[in-house]
Amino acid sequence: MELQLALDLVNIPEAKQVVQEVEPYIDIVEIGTPVVINEGLHAVKAIKEAFPNLKVLADLKIMDAGGYEVMKASEAGADIITVLGVSDDSTIRGAVEEARKRNKKIMVDMINVKDLETRAREIDSFGVDYICVHSGYDHQAAGINSFADLATIKRVVRNAKTAIAGGIKLDTLPQVVAAAPDLVIVGGGITGAEDKRSVAAKMRELVKQG
């Protein structure tokens, strides 16, 4: 089980500062969609250059032109790129094809997928690397989490690794770990903590027990 740090509400210097604090305890650093919108793929390049030993995920949430967007993210240094599960099959397949050429990985974000079980089974056959259940900011504000969704995809996914994101904190992490995803994605649970290093260290310990 791996731990991914999601950076959403930071600029490039702030992102570097946060990652520097917690680098020993994370496996993947995510350049979140808001950062990509505000800073562009320069943010991906900057973090990869500053922390070459970490895998960097570009949370592009690709909805169209999968091959092209994966190419551009790969050129910026991304190791993993996200595509939306609600996008067309051809978009996901195009993203996977380009990622294979470049030795990169594709994560499919299942946010707002209506028939999770059916779609997860379909996407699993496309050769993607991760399938992620995700409670976005708006879901979290409504009190929705992804724990039940994780159980659903764990039941049907046979090839891809499974991931969970959205509102995970230190006190809810044991419940997540018990559900045995391959990847746990934490944003504010680390970045919003006063002692980020200590929280990340405790999360790392829990995740590695899984």
Question: Rounded to 10 degrees, what is the CA torsion of 39, 45, 51, 54?
Answer: 100
**Torsion sign (Cα): 48, 31, 21, 130:** negative
Q: How far apart are CA 8 and CA 43, in angstroms?
A: 11
Tell me what the pLDDT averaged over the chain comes to: 94
Structure-block tokens of residue 165: 């994101």
Residue-wise pLDDT for 165-175, tens only, equals 988 999 999 99
- Quick one: pLDDT at residue 138? 66
CB atoms within 10 A of CB 111: 21
Q: What count of Cα atoms within 13 Å lies in the side-chain half-sphere of residue 65?
A: 6
Residue-wise pLDDT for 10-69, tens only, equals 999 999 999 999 999 999 999 999 999 999 999 999 999 999 999 999 999 999 999 999
Structure-block tokens of residue 133: 């259940």
| Residue in this structure with the two tokens 């991304």, named with its chain if needed | 78
pLDDT at 140 over 60: no
Residue-wise pLDDT for 69-95, tens only, equals 999 999 999 999 999 999 999 999 999
Q: What is the CATH number of domain 2-209?
A: 3.20.20.70
What backbone phi and psi angles, to 5 degrees, belong to 165? Answer: -145, 150
Burial-class residue 142 by CB neighbours within 10 Å (0-12, 13-18, 19+): exposed
